[in-house]
């Protein structure tokens, strides 16, 4: 059902692109779609997540999808390529860290063949080191696997 809704929304957006180009008085595609058609007197009613609308508007205005990222540091707490257990272990570690440090973003990534868990969006290595010390204090068994890595981080403050 979600796939059908997405396909329908995508089709409507493509069709509305032409309408939007022809009718420059409208601010965006969504407003153009919800305007009553002069020939058929039909109106499109859309139910969608507002974040989708914001992404479409941002892409139309030329905003970059990389906006909100920069070079920084994260603390890696887990990396494994053990096929049978790595994924489960990665998500267990993510849950434990989220419970202990809810203010920090936790990222579980799979880059074949490794499952990795990294924490935080730190601008400086010193900030990452300070958090690494807190992690080791909270989870002493992670000491040997915990180290700082350079990575693209989110600067917008979202998890």
What pLDDT score does 21 carry? 46
By residue count, the chain amounts to 159
Contact status, residue 79 vs residue 38, Cβ threshold 8 Å: no
Q: Following DSSP, what letter does each residue of 60-87 receive, concatenated? A: HTT--TTTTEEEEEEEEEEEE--TTTHH
Provide CATH 3.30.70.1070 ranges for the chain: 69-154
Quickly name the fold that domain 69-154 has. Answer: Alpha-Beta Plaits (3.30.70)
What pLDDT score does 30 carry? 72
What pLDDT score does 29 carry? 72
What pLDDT score does 37 carry? 80
What pLDDT score does 6 carry? 62
* Whole-angstrom distance, CA of residue 143 vs CA of residue 77: 8
Query: How many degrees, rounded to 5, is the angle at CA 135 between CA 109 and CA 114?
Result: 20
Helix (H) or strand (E) holding 145: none
Per-residue pLDDT of the chain (159 residues), as tens digits, is 667 666 666 666 666 555 444 444 545 677 777 788 888 888 877 777 666 776 776 666 555 555 588 999 999 999 999 989 999 999 999 999 999 999 999 999 999 999 999 999 999 999 999 999 999 999 999 999 999 999 999 986 444
């Amino acid at each position: 059902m979600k796939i059908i809704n997405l396909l329908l929304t995508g089709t409507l957006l493509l069709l509305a692109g032409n309408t939007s180009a022809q009718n420059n008085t409208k601010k965006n595609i969504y407003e153009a779609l919800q305007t009553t058609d002069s020939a058929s007197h039909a109106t499109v009613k859309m139910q969608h997540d507002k974040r989708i609308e914001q992404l479409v508007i941002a892409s139309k205005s030329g905003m970059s999808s990389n906006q909100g990222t920069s070079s920084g540091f994260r603390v890696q707490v887990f990396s494994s390529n053990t096929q049978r257990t790595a994924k489960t272990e990665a998500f267990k570690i993510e849950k434990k860290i989220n419970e202990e440090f809810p203010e920090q973003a936790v990222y579980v990534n799979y880059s074949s063949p490794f499952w990795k868990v990294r924490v935080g969006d730190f601008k400086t290595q010193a900030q990452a080191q300070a958090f690494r010390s807190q992690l080791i204090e909270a989870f002493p068994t992670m000491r040997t696997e915990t180290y700082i890595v350079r990575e693209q981080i989110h600067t917008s403050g979202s998890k």
